[in-house]
Amino acid sequence: MDFTFPFNTCEIPKKDGIAQPHSIIINTLLCIIIFLFLLQSNNLYSRLFLFSILIFNIFHTFSHAIHISSIKNIQFLLTHYSAVLSSFFLFCLLSNITKYTLKQYQIIGLLSLLIFDIILIYYGVSHLYNIIVFLIILFSILTIFYKYLSNDMKKNIKYVIGFSFLAIFIDINEIISCQSLLQKYGNIPFHSITEIFISIPIILVCYSFYRI
């Protein structure tokens, strides 16, 4: 399953101007929403986390605006590792909230996942696998700290995880079915539908942690 972001996303890029305008619109709106949460944040760790999500989404949005093929994987690397950075700041935020210190095996597990992710990049496998590894890192962090959080945060995290799995399912379905969908309905920007579902858990996680 050869998937390279942003070139294989299921919205036919325009040759002139903005490459994938429908995805741009959705992600620009998401950037505005994240920025509004950032303005209302009342905690340093929360601000750092929200700012890292905003940086990720700016890289993500830019990747749909202009496709750069001259530098191999540069857009995916910037987008992917800004997402990984946001998981680090989520870790810092949850550590600050719960005062929980990770056990040695938990640290080794998270570092092993990060090293595995770098190995996948080195060997040039489909970007889909890097996305899956990132999500495992993210869900691992949420799982580690889950029992130490308030009931309201626990409830929100359940929604975040639920909508994340729905978004993953839609994303994988898009990757598998993209060519046949574009052949039949080439004018429909299917990736923008995926972007809408991906936006839901991002907004939920911002809502969950913008005020502590």
Mean pLDDT of the chain: 88
Residue 117's alpha-carbon distances to 76, 80, 90, 141, 184, in angstroms, are 13, 10, 18, 16, 35
Residue 199 clears pLDDT 90, i.e. is over it: yes
Residue 116's alpha-carbon distances to 72, 133, 157, 206, in angstroms, are 20, 8, 26, 28
Residue 1 clears pLDDT 60, i.e. is over it: no
The residue that leads in pLDDT, 174 or 39, is 39
Q: What is the pLDDT of residues 66-92, one digit of tens each?
A: 877 777 778 888 888 999 999 999 999
Any domain includes 14: no
Any domain includes 143: yes
- Compute the distance between CA of residue 134 and CA of residue 140 in angstroms, rounded to an integer: 10
The residue that leads in pLDDT, 184 or 153, is 153
Top-confidence range, 42-56, 62-76, 119-133? 42-56
Any domain includes 8: no
Q: Give the chain's domain count.
A: 1
Any domain includes 30: yes
Please tell me the predicted confidence (pLDDT) of residue 7.
56
| Cβ 118 vs Cβ 145: under 8 Å | no
Domain span at residue 76 reads 22-209
Residue 198 clears pLDDT 60, i.e. is over it: yes
Please tell me the predicted confidence (pLDDT) of residue 187.
76
Q: What is the pLDDT of residues 157-194, one digit of tens each?
A: 999 999 999 988 888 888 888 888 878 877 788 888 89
Quote the tokens at residue 9: 């996303």
Please report, in angstroms and rounded to a whole number, the separation of the first and last CA atoms in the chain: 41
Any domain includes 17: no
Any domain includes 13: no
